[in-house]
Amino acid sequence: MLMTMRGLTAAARAICYACALAGDLGARPGHSLSGVDWKARAELLTPVAKAFATDIAFDVASLGVQVHGGMGYIEETGAAQVLRDSRISSIYEGTNGVQAIDLVTRKLPMHGGAHVRAYIGELRLLAERARAENRPDFGRMGACLSDALDDLTAATNHILALLDGGKAAEALCGATPYLRLFGLAAGGAYLAKGALASVGEVDAASGLRIATARFFAERLLPECGALRKTIVEGAEAVLVADSALLRG
């Protein structure tokens, strides 16, 4: 549980940092520095930074109560207060459901989907580098990250095809799981980047970065496969349920 808390927090923080950097670079004149449209990058990452980070904030705070045992519910530990306070964060920014809708309907189609595909391509380079390290302490980090990015690519292509075909309702059925899939895959890639930067270092912090990235890749990224299946195959169930609710 502690490693899950650490991994999710570090992944969310990395996405927020990447979004902030893109925003700063995008505000400069000639914001296509280094061949990247940083203004578009900031727009793409903003709903993910807001919604993924605040969703996992509540998850992490809930685990924080759990690791205290029964004492987690006692006010003197502070864990219960953190859990209550974190709940509002997913509502403050327009609710995370709205952020997911924004990601799917406005941000993915930018430049005909070319920008999001280029971004995923950048993340793939990190997966390839992690796989090439072939270090025992990296475990299956590179392979798991590559699988997660395959899931993200498949889900992205599916949603863009639905939007191109005028099937916005079907695309929106997968909006929330897509945002989580995006956040997990991107977060895993950024943790791998930190692990790669730690190669050759012998301090405890570097070892912990590698261990966290490996844990995230091998224990949390497998969720991406289930999310992809939900996105690609789950629209009809949502639409049928919607009709049933209206009749009821």
Q: Is the pLDDT of residue 72 over 70?
A: no
- Output the CA torsion 84→215→153→108 (10° steps): 30
Q: What's the chain's Rg over C-alpha atoms?
A: 19
pTM: 0.94
Q: Is the pLDDT of residue 15 over 90?
A: yes
- State the Cα–Cα distance between residues 118 and 122, nearest whole angstrom: 6
Give me the pLDDT at residue 75, please.
73
Least confident of 31-45, 66-80, 87-101, 159-173: 66-80
Residue 105: band (very low, low, confident or very high) from pLDDT cuts 50, 70, 90: very high
Decide if 93 is catalytic.
Answer: yes
Q: Which helix (H) or strand (E) holds 116?
A: helix 114-133
Q: Is the pLDDT of residue 94 over 80?
A: no
pLDDT digits (tens, 9 = 90+) for 197-210: 999 888 999 999 99
Give me the pLDDT at residue 58, please.
95
Q: What single letter denotes the amino acid at residue 171?
A: A
Residue 74: band (very low, low, confident or very high) from pLDDT cuts 50, 70, 90: confident
Q: Is the pLDDT of residue 25 over 70?
A: yes
> What's the CA angle centered on 193, arms 7 and 39, to 5 degrees?
100
> Which is catalytic among the residues 43, 75, 76, 93?
93
